[in-house]
């Protein structure tokens, strides 16, 4: 009988508390400064040693990805094996996060897969080869692998961990649409509006901005209604779009205020997740 071992890893949603686009680089990427944060809500990845590679998909958003074949999770597993070995694995993904929504669902899934494989095969999470794999999979994957609040520079892969805001009540809202990251970046007006500030994390986040919000709102005007609804809720600290959209978030001063906001926004056909920063 094979020695079956299983590791279960959460793939927590990523938020960009602020996202400043500084300029377009010669390599086609954009130079960014962003405040990454993570919430408790997310997908779940289960990895088991197996005699052959298998990938299964469940959860409320599984249907959106069904039939893809190749995805960030299977790519992460293949690249881990190329670098570290470890044989075959059965990987099960519970998909609770909306797809193409600006909260790093696919990147978080890939990062969770790498963490699970590292735990199964005795690889330290600090191993630079693990972060190199993450960087090769996508710009947000290193931040999701780190899994904590951080200032990201470059494409987002140059990370400086930050303290603060853990436990803050948060409401995620998606109007039920996906937007193309490439199309949103293409719509950026090219104006450098300056760097992210320094000091108290909440004050810095509130004083920041998301430079991708204006082009995303042109492509998906439904974002306007979400942001307006979040901004109108009592007890809100601030509301903003995350990443390239269309998911928006509101930070609240109490759980009571957050839950009241969630109740107020129910019935509009929007996806909601009441959670906390971690």
**Chain segment 195-222, per-residue pLDDT in tens:** 999 999 999 999 999 999 999 999 999 9
Q: What percent of the chain has pLDDT over 70?
A: 97
Helix (H) or strand (E) holding 218: helix 213-219
CATH topology of domain 6-161: Ribosomal Protein S5; domain 2 (3.30.230)
pLDDT at 46 over 70: yes
186 is catalytic: no
189 is catalytic: no
pLDDT at 71 over 50: yes
The domain spans of the chain are 6-161, 169-276
Number of helices (H), then strands (E), belonging to the chain: the values are 10, 10
Total-model pTM: 0.95
Mean per-residue pLDDT of the chain: 95
Q: What is the pLDDT of residue 63?
A: 84
Split at pLDDT 50, 70, 90, the class of 1 is very low
Q: What is the pLDDT of residue 69?
A: 64
CA dihedral 205, 131, 79, 102 (to 10 degrees): 0
- 112-125 average pLDDT score: 97
pLDDT at 2 over 50: no
Same fold, 6-161 and 169-276: no
Query: Could you identify the residue written with the tokens 């948060």?
Result: 170
pLDDT at 139 over 70: yes
User: What confidence tens digit (pLDDT) does each residue in 73-106 have?
Assistant: 999 999 999 999 999 999 999 999 998 899 999 9
Active-site pick, 82, 140, 189, 259: 140
Active-site pick, 14, 95, 109, 211: 14
* Cβ 40 vs Cβ 12: under 8 Å: yes
- 17-27 average pLDDT score: 95
pLDDT at 68 over 70: no
**Exposure on the CB side of residue 210, measured as CA atoms within 13 A:** 28
CATH topology of domain 169-276: Alpha-Beta Plaits (3.30.70)
């Amino acid at each position: 009988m094979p020695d079956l071992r299983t590791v279960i890893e959460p793939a927590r949603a990523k938020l960009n508390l602020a996202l400043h686009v500084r300029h377009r680089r010669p390599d086609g990427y954009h130079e960014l400064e962003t405040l990454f944060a993570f919430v408790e809500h997310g997908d779940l990845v289960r990895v088991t040693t197996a005699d052959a590679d298998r990938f299964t998909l469940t959860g409320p958003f599984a249907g959106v990805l069904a039939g893809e074949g190749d995805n960030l999770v299977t790519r992460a597993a293949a690249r881990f094996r190329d670098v570290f070995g470890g044989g075959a694995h059965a990987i099960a993904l519970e998909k609770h996060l909306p797809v193409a929504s600006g909260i790093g669902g696919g990147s978080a899934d890939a990062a969770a897969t790498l963490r699970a494989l590292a735990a199964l095969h005795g690889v330290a999470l600090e191993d630079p080869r693990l972060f190199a794999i993450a960087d090769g999979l996508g710009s947000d994957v290193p931040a999701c692998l780190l899994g904590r609040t951080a200032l990201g520079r470059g494409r987002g892969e140059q990370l400086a961990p930050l303290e603060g805001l853990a436990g803050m009540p948060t409401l995620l809202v998606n109007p039920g649409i996906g937007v193309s990251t490439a199309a949103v970046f293409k719509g950026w007006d090219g104006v450098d509006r300056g760097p992210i500030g320094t000091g108290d994390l909440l004050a810095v986040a509130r004083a920041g901005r998301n430079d991708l919000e204006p082009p995303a709102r042109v492509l998906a005007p439904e974002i306007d209604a979400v942001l307006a609804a979040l901004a109108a809720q009592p007890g809100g600290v601030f509301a903003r779009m995350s990443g390239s959209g269309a998911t928006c978030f509101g930070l609240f001063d109490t759980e009571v205020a957050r839950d009241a906001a969630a109740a107020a926004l129910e019935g509009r056909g929007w996806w909601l997740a009441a959670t906390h920063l971690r």
